[in-house]
Amino acid sequence: SLPPSSLFPPSTPINTHHRHSNTTTVFRRTGEGTAYCRALSKSLRHRALNTSNAPTLSYRTRDPPVEAAHRVPAQEFISRQGNNPNPLPHTENYVDVKEVVVISQKQSALGLSTIKEQLHAPFDPIETPGFLKHPRTCGLVGMPMSWGQPHGGTDQGPDLLRKRGIVDFIKGLEWRISDHRDIEFEEPKIDDPNTEGLKLKNAYAVGMANRKLAEKTYELAKSGQFALTMGGDHSIALGSIAGLLKARPDMAIVWVDAHADINTPETSPSGNLHGMPIAFLMGLSDIVPPGFEWLSEYPKLSADSLAYVGLRDVDEGERRLIKDLNIKAYSMYEVDRYGIGAVMEHCLQAISPQNSRPIHLSYDIDAVDPDLAPATGTMVRGGFTLREAHYICERMAETGMLGSMDIVEVNPTLTCTDGASATVELGVQLVLSAMGNRIL
């Protein structure tokens, strides 16, 4: 299947190596339709450009009506795609009143065909957790934090998700919305309390901001709402989870991320706080940085209440902590070997054998392969496919015990406009899958 079109600028070739395949797909945008060809290796395109005896490649158009496959010399195929008359992708949303289905339609950058995504509440409603009030209500809060990591831009995440229509889409899944807007907090200042001797960056500002978030998520959870926190970098999980644990002490956490984020101030190679929230939540360090004193008023996260899914970039100190604490951790190796379905069943059985505990889903967009989610700051190749990414959320919703979620690390400033748009779109769609959106 073709990848989302908005990831690719119209004037550049895209060589996509598939994690589950030895083939490479060479994509080019064309005014005649969605032209594409499969090559046995990247060297095939190289030979086509550099030899007079160019091999012949097949492509077919996806514009209706579907034409029979055409064959052209690869050199001609590759060279003639440079002048592209197609406009940039556009998006339109509408509601089919008869079926009450919200539809997102985009023109494919690979041609004139459209990529369509639909919003469906399931025919058999997913069971609402008993700890949520009726009618079910989503408490939405933005946390525009960027000081937990070195790149500006993650603070735009909440605004972009709202502009993409996340509020109306959630309503379309038969949730009430209580939008608490964005948490307001102070930026780092030169006269912030000193962290001398600690390899921590912006600790006071990040700590105090998370205190405000913890108070808000506690309020949402205590009132029986589904707490949806839109980041922001992943340091915000410190506040969101602390508040939720205070209201729901038996809560379990599924941490979906390429990274473990369990570094302590002693083990962190960078000092960036978005790589440390789990360590502070679990109380793994005796160091209490300025701005973090409030954590003593909140319950600690226990190792048997946490499971990682999707790890593929783990620091040495983190690996040691995960092993020593016997934390359930499923890397991309397990996903490749057993499949995402088996991984999620094992994960849920480990943290809630009787399916009796409230569950929180903390979803870092960098868990998804960067070909699909390029607008994020710590990309690592070999991430989730589109369906794997969605399946995690769908399965979590299916438990009937999902009571809260973070969606974090969307950073539109780190890629092209199309890449940013695709990443924001994916963030919205993942939230919707977690809140009940279904194919059937």
Residue 330 has pLDDT above 50, yes or no: yes
| Backbone φ/ψ region at 382: left (φ over 0), alpha (ψ -120 to 50), beta | left
Residues 139-145, mean pLDDT to the nearest whole number: 97
Residues 177-205, mean pLDDT to the nearest whole number: 89
> 223 and 243 in contact (C-beta within 8 Å)?
no
Both structure tokens of 400: 């009937």
Out of 307-316, 387-396, 412-421, which region has the weakest mean confidence (pLDDT)? 412-421
Give the residue from 7, 60, 4, 5 showing the smallest Cα distance to 33. 60
120: burial class by Cβ within 10 Å (0-12, 13-18, 19+)?
middle
**Per annotation, catalytic residue among 155, 318, 334, 409:** 409
Percentage of the chain lying above the pLDDT 70 cut: 72
Residues 397-404, mean pLDDT to the nearest whole number: 96
Which residues does residue 73 pair with via DSSP β-bridges, in sequence order? 56
Cα–Cα distance measured from residue 193 to residue 186, given in angstroms and rounded to the nearest whole number: 13
Residues 275-302, mean pLDDT to the nearest whole number: 95
366 classed as catalytic? yes
Residues 231-247, mean pLDDT to the nearest whole number: 97
State the number of CA atoms in the 13 A half-sphere of 308 facing the CB: 29
418 classed as catalytic? no
- Using only C-alpha atoms, the chain has a radius of gyration, in whole angstroms, of 23
Confidence of residue 56 (pLDDT cuts 50, 70, 90): very low
Residue 88 has pLDDT above 90, yes or no: no
Confidence of residue 13 (pLDDT cuts 50, 70, 90): very low
**Residue 75: alpha-carbon gap to chain centroid:** 38
Give the residue from 360, 127, 395 showing the smallest Cα distance to 221. 360
Confidence of residue 106 (pLDDT cuts 50, 70, 90): low
Cα–Cα distance measured from residue 29 to residue 204, given in angstroms and rounded to the nearest whole number: 48
Local structure of 151: helix, strand or coil = coil
**Per annotation, catalytic residue among 274, 315, 390, 394:** 274
pLDDT tens digit sequence for 74-87: 344 333 334 433 33
Cα–Cα distance measured from residue 253 to residue 257, given in angstroms and rounded to the nearest whole number: 12
Q: Is the pTM of this model over 0.85?
A: no
Q: Where are the alpha helices (DSSP H) in 140-274?
A: 157-163, 166-172, 203-222, 237-247
**Per annotation, catalytic residue among 259, 315, 360, 388:** 259
Both structure tokens of 388: 């794997």
**Per annotation, catalytic residue among 233, 315, 334, 364:** 364
Confidence of residue 146 (pLDDT cuts 50, 70, 90): very high
> 231 and 158 in contact (C-beta within 8 Å)?
yes
Residue 164 has pLDDT above 70, yes or no: yes
Single-letter amino acid, residue 77: F
Cα–Cα distance measured from residue 412 to residue 116, given in angstroms and rounded to the nearest whole number: 22
**Per annotation, catalytic residue among 155, 233, 234, 334:** 234
Residue 346 has pLDDT above 80, yes or no: yes
Farthest CA pair distance, the chain: 73
Residues 6 or more apart in contact with residue 201 via CB below 8 angstroms: 147, 150, 270, 271, 272, 273
pLDDT tens digit sequence for 169-178: 999 999 999 9
DSSP 142: E
DSSP 353: T
Cα–Cα distance measured from residue 317 to residue 271, given in angstroms and rounded to the nearest whole number: 13
> 144 and 162 in contact (C-beta within 8 Å)?
no
Q: What is the pLDDT of residue 113?
A: 55
**Per annotation, catalytic residue among 155, 233, 334, 366:** 366
Q: What is the pLDDT of residue 121?
A: 67
Both structure tokens of 3: 């990848």
Q: What is the pLDDT of residue 105?
A: 53
> 412 and 375 in contact (C-beta within 8 Å)?
yes
346 classed as catalytic? no
259 classed as catalytic? yes
**Per annotation, catalytic residue among 155, 233, 261, 388:** 261
Which residues does residue 405 pair with via DSSP β-bridges, in sequence order? 228, 361
261 classed as catalytic? yes
- Report the run of H or E that residue 105 belongs to, with start and end: strand 101-107
Give the residue from 216, 229, 223 showing the smallest Cα distance to 131. 223
Cα–Cα distance measured from residue 263 to residue 278, given in angstroms and rounded to the nearest whole number: 8
46 classed as catalytic? no
Q: What is the pLDDT of residue 332?
A: 97
Residue 38 has pLDDT above 80, yes or no: no
Q: What is the pLDDT of residue 119?
A: 73
Residues 233-262, mean pLDDT to the nearest whole number: 97
Residue given tokens 């050199």 in the structure block: 75
Single-letter amino acid, residue 67: E
Q: What is the pLDDT of residue 231?
A: 95
**Per annotation, catalytic residue among 257, 371, 394, 406:** 257
Per this entry, what is the length of the chain?
440
pLDDT tens digit sequence for 356-377: 999 999 999 999 999 999 999 8
Q: What is the pLDDT of residue 75?
A: 40
Q: What is the pLDDT of residue 66?
A: 31
> 411 and 375 in contact (C-beta within 8 Å)?
yes
Residue 398 has pLDDT above 50, yes or no: yes
Confidence of residue 20 (pLDDT cuts 50, 70, 90): very low
Q: What is the pLDDT of residue 230?
A: 97
pLDDT tens digit sequence for 198-229: 889 999 999 999 999 999 999 999 999 999 99
Residue 289 has pLDDT above 80, yes or no: yes
Residue 53 has pLDDT above 90, yes or no: no
**Phi, psi (degrees; rounded to nearest 5) at 95:** -115, 125
Q: What is the pLDDT of residue 127?
A: 76
Residues 114-142, mean pLDDT to the nearest whole number: 81
Residue 166 has pLDDT above 90, yes or no: yes
